[in-house]
Structure 1
């Protein structure tokens, strides 16, 4: 019967049933086939316990921050500032896309949301300046994978909640990996720029640079307040999200005057829909994890891993290979929620820091946005940028190679990931 349930799980995914419904239905079906009604009676409790966590409150607050900043014109100011700084280099607008994504990563924290938003603005702009549309779309998608790495990060919040790891430590641990990815993509663009003779714009005057810097300072308040507040211990991650909402509103409404009160109903509606989608998935996945624990699947995997090798480096390599394959078929957040209860017990066995492992697993699953056949990022950007899916896949390949290379560095260079959390005593 277990084999039938597993086959049904993959069949439902293939025919397009949302993952949250699939894991919920499979859990109910599995316990129903066992004939143990007491387990089914406990199902509502499991659904509630998956959401009864203070740390999850940061998710809707950070989503609200992102919506407020988009509606308040703050994201536009950040993109313009990046263009003034880097637009005059060869391939300057490509550099702008990477740097702007790094700025926005500290606001949105969602790669899908960021790639969708940036595709609307950067792809047409790059095409106007002479860039290939396929390259522009691939670059926009690839550079958006830093969104879940640089704080604040929704996927770090979910991992921290599931594993019991410090969310503040995860946020700080993501800073250096995010910078590594930014530098790697800029290096790739530099090589491609001279090979394909990318265009460049005129160098701005110092007056223009100064005006743009002054104009963007209020927009930078949000990421600065979040990071500095957490570093100094002034407030927790959840409290920083609430403060960020207030600052985003003040900046958008009073400084830039682009956030109108009439936009607020749409802002709150979008936030509620996004939050409901994520929390429903978390609730269902918690029940699914309960089923996995009941079947002692984590213990079976642990025994299998230990039988292969007791070396933590080999374990990390196997996990990365497994996740890269899985990420091509399963949504990153869904995979994270399902797999964290499986892998967390193994970390003690192998002596791996759960914060370092959290960064590795989150980056790995985010790379799944770039991989066919089910990489959601490919479909989102392909649709918005009006680029054929096949062209998106070929154009994104160099960035995918660089992304995996950076993942290997981050996996085996633990001190780079843990430097900031250890420096500030988290």
Structure 2
């Protein structure tokens, strides 16, 4: 009898048949190897640019251009790898509550939505490639079409993956029935085009609220939900050529500042592998491990420090939890409360540089990333202090029998061991402030520093893990960047519809002036962070709301901190917050067990958020 498994999307399937296994391995080989190489090449190219400019005073005029050309290929190949691995961001909470057969049908529908988006985008992507062949890059004199060919290539590979998955994992009867249903729906929508043309802005509710909400609820990956809604809106309600969508996706994914996303993701994986994160945690444990709730304070401190290095919440939690949880459980800590604290500390640390959300918000709104990096430290500290109050009351009765206080010598020894690790956040900041490297390039300096520390100080460097880390970096980056690309196209469609002007008028007219605007923004971004996650919400609404904030006198860095903190609160708030479920997966704890413990921590963070919104100095006092 063959074993049965269930994949991420909810398909029931038997053990893989030889043809599909062979096809899957072939796609893996032709996508993962180039994607990993592209991550490595991007690191080398940007590092070469830094060394050439700062050390030899001879800037490489072509380095940024080459990095930009390769970056779009990295983004699209990474998106392909993420689709094959089932790692695109999606909301599965509602679909997982359905009975098995209904869940399988919904999963099949979600796969077909992905297929519809890819089939709709492939021809416009080819046309966009042909258009861009007429443009030549200034330094390398390469036809730009070869750069944007990445979009068509990625779409074609994802179509192949989706079709193989449908053929292998769906039951023929259900697949035929679902295909017939989709054909009827698409034909009906096309015939209804004259009606949609007359509906005006009601179409925004139909496509960007209704269709997106249904798609997300049915576990369609967020990027594809945004993409199919945008394409459907433009195809059914306007005469706009769909190549515009591809152009906007290219614009969203090609911003050179976003190149820091994969590099910081790789840096986050690197600090865990080299023992840099463990050294930090060990020092904090020696310092505070003997006091009631000491390890909980250590967890807060470790998340604060590690977040300042990796920029990825999943990488942060994965670096800290395995180092602390075993000892905390040995001391009698409830595992549900541990996950609650881990989730809350993840939300608290969203504003700590070089957070990917900070980089994204700077790239899509024009706010100085250096100013965001400076302004993000104190708001996170306020959040950490609020969580520390809850930790104090939760751990007043902790039993410390058998817990030995570290001697002064042990503390000094652990500090000296951790000193190279503790220096990394300061090295990164100094490199940016002194102008050695840009916010995009600084991660390469951090990577070199971490490699040297791992090789020569901690003597912990597993060369066999480098390739899997490069592939993981490409997959996570591709998933993030495809969301940004599709959300950029969606934001353009919303702007073209006049929605931004209506939103600006409504938000500007909120009672209470700046205070009313900030209050509405807090509530809105808590909801958006819970449903959409931080990056897509920022890409979608940042360009619309930041000009309003500036117009009514809210400092853009202050507004950024309020928005990011609010989204972090939503991201880790059950029942929809994806970050909460990521923390449960990392800690291997049932979400139902952790959910009842998280509310006091979220309440403390909400109080901190109100304080951050009410006191601008917390965000801009050190600018």
| Bin of the TM-score, shorter chain as denominator length | over 0.9
Distance 2:575 2:583 in 1: 14
1:211 to 397, 407, 413: 413
Distance 1:41 1:139 in 2: 46
Counterpart mapping for 1:77-88 below 5 A: 77-88=279-290
> Taking structure 1 as reference, are residues 236 and 37 closer, same or farther at Cα in structure 2, changes over 3 Å only?
closer
State TM-score, norm by structure 2.
0.65
Q: What secondary structure is seen at the aligned counterpart in 2 of 1:275?
A: helix
Match of 2:90 in 1: none
Match of 1:58 in 2: 260
Match of 1:424 in 2: none
1:33 to 230, 236, 260: 236
Distance 1:419 1:198 in 2: 41
Q: What secondary structure is seen at the aligned counterpart in 1 of 2:311?
A: coil
Deviations 1:260-306 (A, max 9, x none): 22221122111111111111111111101110111111111111123
Distance 2:555 2:509 in 1: 21
Distance 2:590 2:261 in 1: 33
Is 1:197 aligned with 2:398? yes
Q: What secondary structure is seen at the aligned counterpart in 1 of 2:350?
A: coil
Is 1:94 aligned with 2:296? yes
1:105 to 295, 304, 307: 307
Q: CA RMSD in A?
A: 1.7
> Taking structure 1 as reference, are residues 190 and 35 closer, same or farther at Cα in structure 2, changes over 3 Å only?
closer
Q: Structure 1 unaligned runs (5+)?
A: 422-426
Q: What secondary structure is seen at the aligned counterpart in 2 of 1:203?
A: coil
Match of 1:184 in 2: 386
Q: Structure 2 unaligned runs (5+)?
A: 1-195, 197-202
Task: Work out whether residues 72 and 258 of structure 1, in 8 Å CA contact, stay in contact via their aligned partners in 2.
Answer: yes
Match of 2:499 in 1: 297
Is 1:20 aligned with 2:223? yes
Q: Report deviation, 1:310.
A: 6.0
Distance 2:349 2:467 in 1: 26
Is 1:332 aligned with 2:519? no
Is 1:265 aligned with 2:467? yes
> Taking structure 1 as reference, are residues 198 and 157 closer, same or farther at Cα in structure 2, changes over 3 Å only?
farther
Distance 1:199 1:370 in 2: 30
Distance 1:175 1:37 in 2: 44
Deviations 1:67-117 (A, max 9, x none): 111111111111111101110111111111111111111112222332344
Task: Work out whether residues 114 and 147 of structure 1, in 8 Å CA contact, stay in contact via their aligned partners in 2.
Answer: no
Q: Report deviation, 1:164.
A: 0.3
Q: What secondary structure is seen at the aligned counterpart in 1 of 2:351?
A: coil
Distance 1:386 1:56 in 2: 32
Task: Work out whether residues 368 and 375 of structure 1, in 8 Å CA contact, stay in contact via their aligned partners in 2.
Answer: yes
Distance 2:606 2:349 in 1: 16
Larger relative contact order, structure 1 or 2 (CA cutoff 8 Å, min sep 6): 1
Distance 1:193 1:159 in 2: 37
Aligned length: 419
Match of 1:224 in 2: 426
Runs of 4+ in 1 over 4 A off after TM superposition: none
State TM-score, norm by structure 1.
0.94
Q: What secondary structure is seen at the aligned counterpart in 2 of 1:420?
A: coil
